[in-house]
Every structure is written in structure tokens, then in C-alpha cells.
Amino acid sequence: MKPLTTSMITACCWVLLLIQAGCAASEPAAETGTDVARGQYLVNLLGCGRCHTEGYLTGNQARGPYLAGSRIGMAYTAYSMDETNPGVVFPSNLTGDPETGLGSWSIEDITTAMTQGITRDGHERLMIMPWVNYNAITRADLLAIAGYLKSLGPVKRAIPEPVPEGEPSHYPYVRYGVYEFSPHQGAEKPSGVSSR
């Protein structure tokens, strides 16, 4: 038997590394976002269900199917309580339903909507959906999130279309940014707090 030389050992290591790299490159989880458990974890961490599940926007328990959208909208204009017809948007259905959810969306469609705010039909999402912040999510995590959303069973649940400012909404909505709380108004400011 011939003894192993350093060059033979090096060659074997390179072959093993190349085989391992080829296997990792062809692994579907890395390319298609099928790391469902990681995606589920991230969807929960990001709080997606807090908007995309009916009931949570009003501080209540869920009244609709998880991630199947909300028929309670969010006002995005008219930050004065005097204005009665703000523009209203409704959190979309993220389940696998091909008609009312993401069932016909590709992984790339989902990651584009999450990071650029552009939907499959080319319209731009309002920044109520924090897509600008999602640019900081790694590609692997975006793929995991999209893979998890694609794994959700279909829930056929139509969500109302956005209501333009000035038109009445036929569905309830919440307002954000309406109230200002000044906990230190009239009180002595804590040391180290400066006035603006």
C-alpha cells in the first residue's frame, strides 16, 4: 500500500469541499425559501399577524383566520378626528388562496412586495406596510418568510379594496398617529431630558 502524500490529502479535501458546495448550492431550502420553520418564526417575530389577522388591529383577540387579512382597515390620511372620510387600506390575505390570497404569487413576487412595496400587478404599497424596513432582512430570511407564506393553506376570504380619501368607508377602520400623549406636560422634566 502506497502512503498518502500531502498533495493527495489536499486533493481529497478539495474534492470533498467541491462536492459539499455543489450539494449546498442545489439545496432547495436555500433557493426557494422552503425553510418553513424559520419563516414561521420570522413572521411571528415581525408581527405580520397583528395587521393581517382580523381583530388584532383593535386590540382584541383574533376574530378571523390567521393571516387571512382584515376587513378592519387603517386610515392613512386625515390625522384630524374632525375629518370623517380618510383614505383607508385593508391588510391583505396572506394565505395560499389563489384568488384572494398569495396562492398564485411566486416566491419572488412575495419578496419583491416585502422589500420594494411593489405588488404583482405593479402598484406600490403604502408605507403602512413597513416594506422599507424589510430591506434590512437578509435574502435567506426573505426566502424563508415567503416559503412559509406559500406553505399556508388557502383561506378564501376577500378583503375590501382601498378607499380613496374623501369617500366613505363601508368597513370599520383604525387611525394611527392621531393622539399625542405628553406624560411630562406641566410636570418637572426628569434630569437629563432636554426640551426640543
pLDDT digits (tens, 9 = 90+) for 133-192: 999 999 999 999 999 999 999 999 999 999 998 899 999 999 875 444 445 555 555 565
Q: What is the pLDDT of residue 85?
A: 86
Instruction: Quick: pLDDT tens for 35-52.
Output: 999 999 999 999 999 999
Q: Give the predicted TM-score (pTM) of the model.
A: 0.71
Confidence band for 79, pLDDT divided at 50, 70 and 90: low
Task: Report which secondary-structure segment, H or E, holds 106.
Answer: none
The candidate with the shortest Cα–Cα distance to 102, out of 171, 50, 48, 55, is 48
Q: Which pLDDT score is estimated for 162?
A: 93
Q: What phi and psi, each to the nearest 5 degrees, are found at residue 166? A: 95, -15
Q: Exposure of 125 by Cβ count < 10 A (0-12 exposed, 13-18 middle, 19+ buried)?
A: middle
According to DSSP, the residues that pair with 163 across neighbouring strands are: 88
Q: What are φ and ψ of residue 4, in 5° steps?
A: -75, 130
Q: Which residues pair with 75 in a beta bridge?
A: 88, 175
**pLDDT at position 96, please?**
97
For residues 106-124, average pLDDT: 92
Per-residue confidence at 123, pLDDT binned at 50, 70, 90?
Answer: confident
Predicted confidence at residue 125, as pLDDT, reads 82
Quick one: pLDDT at residue 10? 39
74 DSSP β-pair partners:
89, 174
> Does 92 have pLDDT greater than 80?
yes
Q: How far apart are the first and last CA of the chain?
A: 82
